[in-house]
Amino acid sequence: MGFQTAEQIENNARFDSQMKIYRGKISKKISIKLVDDAEKAFTELNKIVGEQRNNGITSSKEITLLNAINRIFDIIVSNPFYGENAKKDLIPDEYRQKYGASNLFIADLPDYWRMVYTLESDEIEIIAFVLDIFDHEGYNKKFGFRKNY
């Protein structure tokens, strides 16, 4: 792929699946809303990181995770389709029933954590509802995957 001018990039409304970059222009407002378990996990993580920073800790798994989540939030605001789009038949019933989720995106985080979100849209706005932020074990349990060992 050669170099493109800013105008070419803006006019090129396609996905670059290898880079997970949307090459189109979205004119709607994009916002993020944490719900239920995701909100609890994010609040708890912020609390832990706040305590660590107050104690002079500048590097930890929790700080790395929180920084990564905040980076993913920034990416989603510019490209709501960033995460891996889960197949419709893999969407857990809980997400379908509780949130009416008909689409699901999964963003990878450090240490095998995952952030799961769904998109809702109207004529004015796209909202990314973050449903879960959990470790690999929680992810496997929620999606019904079994351990292979």
Is pLDDT larger for residue 66 or for residue 7? 66
Residue 18 has pLDDT above 50, yes or no: no
Mean pLDDT (the chain) is: 82
Quote the pLDDT of residue 25. Answer: 61
- Please name the residues in contact with 126: beta carbons below 8 A apart, sequence gap of 6 or more: 26, 28, 29, 30, 31, 80, 119, 120
What whole-number distance in Å separates Cα of residue 55 and Cα of residue 87? Answer: 43
Per-residue pLDDT band at 145 (split at 50, 70, 90): confident
Q: How many CB atoms lie within 10 A of CB 46?
A: 13
* Residue 20 · residue 80 · CB < 8 Å: no
Q: pTM for this structure?
A: 0.77
Domains of the chain, by residue range, sit at: 28-141
Quote the pLDDT of residue 7. Answer: 46
What whole-number distance in Å separates Cα of residue 6 and Cα of residue 1? Answer: 15
The second-level CATH assignment, the architecture, of 28-141 is: 2-Layer Sandwich (3.30)
Per-residue pLDDT band at 11 (split at 50, 70, 90): very low
- Alpha carbon of 64 to those of 46, 57, 77, 104, 107: distances in Å? 11, 12, 20, 24, 15
Q: Could you tell me how far CA 58 lies from the centroid of its own chain?
A: 24
Closest Cα to residue 20, out of 89, 71, 62, 55?
Answer: 71
Q: Per mean pLDDT, which range of 9-23, 83-97, 106-120 is the poorest?
A: 9-23
What whole-number distance in Å separates Cα of residue 14 and Cα of residue 149? Answer: 40
